[in-house]
Chains A and B, each alone.
Chain A
Amino acid sequence: MENNVLIEVRALSKSFGELEVLKSVSVDIRKGEKVVIVGASGSGKSTLLRCLNCLEDPTGGEIIFENENLADPKVNINIHRQKMGMVFQQFNLFNNKNVLENIMLAPVTIRLKRLRTEKRRALFKKGDKPTETKEQILAEEREKAMKLLARIGLEDKAEVYPSTLSGGQKQRIAIVRALAMNPKVMLFDEPTSALDPEMVGEVLDLMKQLANEGMTMVIVTHEMGFAREVADRVLFMDGGVIAEQGTPAEVFGAPKSERLKAFLAKVL
């Protein structure tokens, strides 16, 4: 496999019952690349994104990530999802957890589980005694979470519950919650579409920072200005296929297909 390809999508298809939403889509996502997906409502953008981490089970094709085919039901998808952060339109912060707990929950749960497994193995002499303790894990993750909060200037919200936050704050916390897993790629599904206009900027700024740091990003968005600025490549989806793709200059400046021209005329 080519060494700089992070996710390789091969002939991916997805149907909901009779409805064929993705029709044999193939695309490579390279390390550090910023791919923006645009297209009309219902063209299959979210479905493609959600198939990448198998939140939707593909009905056909392959998704190769770290030499494993995620579409294979035998693969332990949880391990791979830990390396693929996802940000949702509706934020989806955990309502019963405060901000700090939201960020810490997944890394702590997963590390403590690993710790228990290691302890059990050590007990049966199948492995070495774990070097870290539960307290260390909690302290480390708390420190990491606080650093992430400091990064977005929300340390003072650590103990607060999501329902008291603004949309922009929620989405920025959702982004750093995903970052707490140290993902190799971040998937964004219309991260600013549910926000009041005055809060769109703060979320896009954080995403730009991530982009500048070299994070691999796949972003479904209607923010064409952002796409122009950040994208290495723009995919135009239409009727379940990638109808056209290229640099922002190519896709926005010199659209070839009639469908893309019509789409751009509507959104620009």
Chain B
Amino acid sequence: MYLEGLGNTLLIALIAAAIGIFIGVTMAMINYINKKTGKLKPAAAVCRFYITLVRGTPVVLQLMILYFVVFAFWDNGIMIGAITFGLNSGAYVAEIARSGFESVDDGQMEAGRSLGLSTWQTMRSIIIPQAVRNCLPPLFNEFIMLVKETAIVGYVGIYDLGKIPGLIQSRTFDYLFPLLIAAALYLVVVMALTRILHMIERNLAKSDRNRGGVRNGK
């Protein structure tokens, strides 16, 4: 039962992360292009509104609204949970990605454009890879947060890891033990993910130092 809960937790977090990264990076890109070219003004305004709205309201409320109102017809709790957290995390990823884009030197876009590449061609080959690279650690950190935060999907009846103790306790009337096990499982997962995060950071630092030998991507 714990394993199924753990599986659901990770599944929700993974799908949510994919949605979040897609939304967040797209919004940060719109913001960046708008800043560089002055085009896409309405789209940038919509993004700002979305970010304010999502960050200004508790995720529990967002989950309940999506679960009980928007997707009331749909009984796939895991997907609804994933979508909620994806939409939510998109707003946070957008902020992370924005700083990633801002850390890319202006000269990179100018060089691309001066060679006759379009804005989009330059974004794709030059700006996005550098922006993503610059914010990989905080992005991964956001994923770790997601793993923990998704525990609240239990509020809408999905069996993820955070919900299992309550379930067991209702059968055995033992409070402490199930909670401890769940906590331990979260701890193990988060510690493992944090290890990976540190590995990513070390690798980035190393390839910065000897870019001469390391090839990144194609």
Contact = CB atoms under 8 A, between A and B. Distances in A.
B215 A53 contact: no
B35 to A, nearest CB: 15
A106 B212 contact: no
A95 interface: yes
B107 interface: yes
Contact of B125 (A79, A90, A109): A109
Interface string B187-216: 000000000000000000000101110011
Interface residues of A, number: 36
Among A79, A96, A110, A163, the most chain B Cβ lie within 10 Å of the Cβ of A96
A81 B187 CA distance: 55
Contact of A79 (B113, B116, B121): B116
B37 to A, nearest CB: 10
Contact of B117 (A83, A85, A96, A110): A110
Contacts of A177: 115
A96 B113 contact: no
Given A105-B125, A161-B212, A55 B108 contact: no
Contacts of A96: 126, 129-130, 133, 216-217
Contact of A95 (B113, B130, B215): B130
A178 interface: yes
A109 B112 CA distance: 11
Interface string B106-148: 0110111111111001000110011001000000000000000
A106 B116 contact: yes
A4 interface: no
Contacts of B118: 78
A106 B133 contact: no
A109 B212 contact: no
Nearest to B124: A109
Nearest to B109: A92
A104 to B, nearest CB: 11
Contact of A92 (B108, B117, B129, B216): B108
A53 B114 contact: yes
Nearest to B210: A164
B215 A106 contact: no
Nearest to B207: A161
Interface of A: 53, 55, 78-86, 88, 90-98, 105-106, 109-110, 113, 159-164, 174, 177-178, 181
- For the complex of A and B, the 5 pairs showing the least CB-CB separation, nearest first, are A82-B116, A161-B211, A92-B107, A106-B115, A92-B111
